[in-house]
Chain A
Amino acid sequence: MTLAFGVVCLKQTKSIDEQMKEIFNQFGNTQDLSSRSFETLTGQKGALIYFNNITDPKEINEVIFPWIDEQGKEKQLNSQRIQETFLIRDVQITEDIQIIVDNLLQGHVVLLLERDSAYCIFQAEKFPFRNPEQPTVETTVKGTKEGYVESLSVNIGLLRRYVQDKNFRVEHMEVGALTKTKVAIVYLEHIHLPEVLEEVKQRLKEIETDSILSSSELKQWLEDNEWSIFPLSRITERPDSTAQSINDGKIAILTQNSPFAILIPFTFFETIQNMDDYYEKWYVSSMIRLVRVFAFFISIFLPGLYIALIHYNPGLIPSDLLVSIAQSRTQVPFPVIWELLLMELTIEIFREAGIRLPKPLGQTVGIVGGIVIGESAVQANLVSPITLIVVAITTMASFSSPQYSMAYSFRLLRFLLVAAAGFLGLYGFVLGTMVLTVHLASQKSFGIPYLTPFAPTSYRNWIDQFLLFPLRWRTVKPSYLSRKKSKGDWKPLKRG
């Protein structure tokens, strides 16, 4: 939980009642805006205005009121005295009603005093949020067990704990005309690419919308191509992952009210990277990554290839297997493509239902539904067992990507390749794959080609791709992310 405490002064030109009315009118008499009137021992009247649910009552009762009471015993209060005696926070002076409104919305307290030309605003916000907990989407075995929360300041604090460097920079901006969502741009001054940072700021400034409620929404506004099927920036709920990324030269964007950070730029091959990889020995991580690559190919290509082979080129399948497949399909009335699409659709429904249902119930329904319906569908000759196996393997493989949003892309692409293979067999399948390759090659993330470091080729950066090289080899930053250093200036982090 965060708690800030300070004072902002404002010139008073009207009576307290008039000022209160003016402030209340700004909010259309909303019922969570409160006021508390008081009178000091010198007989000076005053009032505090604040929002109930976002202001800390302890601060009002134990800090602000005792202070006013103490200061108002002998002399009348005024802005000058407040500035001199209230030393907990800086005092800002403003005459702008809009600033008062903004401060109230941020959980601050407005103080109105009789016979004084100034109004004061105390800062005592207390927004409800949870404590850092174990990440739910990006789980690791050996990694840190804390994830981001909905508070921007807590998230920045978490990051600061991981990167205790004087070059750590935080820049705040606001997006969303109504929500006024605070975002923090976090980077390492001596490593990041200035042109990427400038582009980030520019794109944030150019956002014209009333509301930004989460990082996922902001991510869509920032990405280079909104039509791309692939995510062009990465989203993470792990501070250790963010710390590692900004260490490599990336820029992190944290959003108020969102437990996710956006990491940019993002390249396609980061899809197979997971924080756990860095906590294991290089050969173990490399093997796991190769498994993920294999799973990636299965999740995208297997259904399309299955259609192409069964429909157009059964001669490619070994004779024994072909006979077995043919026998299993004899009673199925649908063409293989409809059979496969039917099962894919069923799986998608199970998946969607599994997410919406309460967690314990969702798993049970998913397993029971999957087994019962799958078994029944085979017995009713609606699908063949081999199709069921293909769909099940594909679905499991699509979730092997550590980047959750990439799993959605894989699933969509699968349908494209199934359609292509259904129309022109292996030829269509290859053409579909080419369209996919071209699409990937044409994408960029903040000026960085999406297929970096393979296209454009950068051998130096292959140390952390499909295979993870030993730690001592990985002491240099990715060249496409970090600022170029003059000779001798670069000090790679010697580890091990």
Chain B
Amino acid sequence: MNYEGLSDGQLWMLISADDRKAFGYSFKLYSKDLFRYGRKFTEAKEVIEDVIQDVYLDLWNKRKGTQIQQSIKFYLFTAFRREIIKRLSKLRKQESMDYFSPEALLEASYLEGLIKQQGERESNQRLHSAILRLSERQREAVYLRYFADLSNQEIAKLMGISVESVYNLIFKSIKLLKGVMVNDVQYQSK
């Protein structure tokens, strides 16, 4: 059976009817996005994988009872966000500092980024350092909008903020990124 043309709702119906392949397909579809999403919260791969595992097991266990209101994807993202925040704050209490993305880590990846980018255009470097200046929430919103393809409404619900705030988060992020590029263009034209 080919699952590719199925709507989210149809896929969910198959999963509710114990279709393991449909379940597998939902993993193939969304688990990568969840993983990338997890990176916005922590560097710890094991924690992210653990949460993905729990979220999918939960989805399977609930297949009979749960009404998926919006979409499997939105359901997964919501459950994932809730669970990873819970997990990380618990770990934080246990003082396992390495499970977080502290400044030091950001610094390192920033430097790595710079080294990686050497030889490429200057604007690209500027873009990368600008991206690193985005706040955690800005990055989260930008990721959800442009990479996970969620709507502003969905993002608002997921992050527990208003649609307007989502719009603002993204707008300000893009403005910042655009800013470094405009500077670049002016610089070149001089």
A binds B: no
Using a CB–CB cutoff of 8 Å, the interface residues on chain B facing chain A are none
